[in-house]
Amino acid sequence: MEKVCSSKVLSEEDQYCEDNFSSTVHHDSQGRFVTEAVSILGLKWVPPSDSFCFEVTLPASSKVVTKRVILSEISKSFDLLGWLSPVLVRAKLMLQDLWIQSVDWGIPLTGDLLDQWQLLREQLPELAQIRIPRWFGSSAQTAWELHRFLDASQRAFVATAYMVVPGEKSTLIMSKTKVLPIKTESLPRLELCGAVFLTRLFKHLLDGVLLKPVAVYCWTDSKWRHVRSEDTPTDCATKGFTPEQLLQSSLWWEGPEWIRNDWTADRSNYTAKTTLSTVLAQVALEESAEKDDVSPPLVCLEKYSHFSKIIRVLACAFRWRRNAAKSKGDRCAGPFITEELDDTRVGLLR
């Protein structure tokens, strides 16, 4: 890799590189081997600037736009480390909207969804302007911190991880997005699910780096270590960015400015302003509600000492409950069939 994809001066013995890699390697004015951008895992590596960039190549615009066409073109944007999350999450949410509206694969799109897709498609080539340094600026002697941010909305949650060298610099390592299921969930539950999501990202990241951080911090706009929404980089992705906004967003690429400074002096763990009496009253209220919701058992199992007897008694009770919802002519009667006894056994074990 060093000999083939770099600007290093090579010996005559390495002349074969020019023959084997003539499509990417050429001589400069000083006789050095220089390469153009090299494709690596869906990225383009530019050796002269030692940075990554993205190549967005879309086919000619289709006259008929369908869900199949959108999925095909979205899949061409390979973003392994989630650097483009604020833009690509818009495409994911658009695809989910098509599922919610039960749009078939071959049906041409019209209206707002078509306008949204055409606007996003026109903006995607602008992603090629983004340059991401390959080297984070760390070495074996660098003491760095890992700061993780989380934000959840009703449509998606986003987790990001930043490498921070205190007093010097901070940079985005990776991010991860997840579009939420169509089933509606409460925002507190989404924040909790997002916390689990962030923890998994943290474990995945630490397993893959050799140079371990000296400290790890987690930030959300709910609890844990509290951070304001306007200081949360993940808020960029949950809201959605255009490529131009993504290119100019220092909050996304470097995180909030205060993580590079001495933030411990004026930031502490978020604590809710709740008195002990309020908490105890809330617990008592919840316990009372739980007791009211408990229904008496259908059959008192302590009265019977044989399992087969319990099964037949429960089968009788289940049959009565099913018959109560049916008209007289549709009710089940007579000896129990095997299917009824099997269902009763499964219901008892559950």
What pLDDT, in 10s, does the model give residues 254-312?
888 877 776 665 555 444 444 444 444 444 544 554 455 545 566 666 677 778 888 88
Residues contacting residue 226 through CB under 8 Å, at least 6 positions apart: 219, 220, 269, 270
CA separation (Å) from 276 to 164, 272, 280, 281, 286? 37, 11, 6, 9, 15
Euclidean distance between CA atoms 45 and 7, whole angstroms: 13
pLDDT for 269 equals 46
8 is written with which tokens? 């290093």
Confidence of residue 33 (pLDDT cuts 50, 70, 90): low
In this predicted structure, the answer to whether residue 163 has a pLDDT above a threshold of 50 is yes
Within 10 A of 198 (CB to CB), how many other CB atoms are there? 26
- The pLDDT value recorded for residue 282 is 47
pLDDT at 105 exceeding the cut of 80: yes
| Residue tagged 């009372």 (tokens) | 288
Q: What is the mean pLDDT of residues 79-97?
A: 89
CATH number of the structural domain 138-265:
3.10.20.370
Q: How confident is the model at residue 14 (pLDDT cuts 50, 70, 90)?
A: low
Predicted confidence (pLDDT) at residue 348 exceeds the cutoff of 60: yes
Q: State residue 221's pLDDT score.
A: 66
Which stretch of 95-104, 138-147, 152-161, 172-181 has the lowest confidence by average pLDDT? 138-147
Q: What percent of the chain has pLDDT over 70?
A: 75
How confident is the model over 205-239, as pLDDT tens digits?
Answer: 888 777 788 888 887 766 556 677 777 787 788 77
Where would I find the H helices in the chain?
Answer: 16-20, 67-74, 85-100, 111-123, 187-208, 234-239, 243-248, 250-254, 276-293, 307-324, 338-349
Model confidence at 127: pLDDT above 80 = yes
Confidence (pLDDT) at 147 = 87
Q: What is the pLDDT of residues 327-346, one digit of tens each?
A: 877 888 888 888 888 888 88
What local confidence, expressed as pLDDT, does residue 270 receive? Answer: 44
Instruction: Say if residue 70's pLDDT is above 70.
Output: yes
Number of C-beta neighbours around residue 163 at 10 A: 23
Packing angle, helices 307-324 and 338-349, rounded to 10: 100
Torsion sign, CA atoms 249, 254, 258, 263: positive
Q: What residue ranges do the domains of the chain occupy?
A: 12-53, 67-129, 138-265, 301-349
Residue 18: count other Cβ atoms within 10 Å of its Cβ. 13
Please report the pLDDT score of residue 223 as a whole number: 54
Q: Assess contact for 42 and 31: CB atoms under 8 A.
A: no
* Cα-trace Rg, the chain: 30
pTM of this prediction?
A: 0.60
The band of 198, judged by pLDDT with boundaries at 50, 70 and 90, is confident
Residue 21: pLDDT over 80 = no
Burial of 117 from C-beta contacts in 10 A (0-12 / 13-18 / 19+): buried
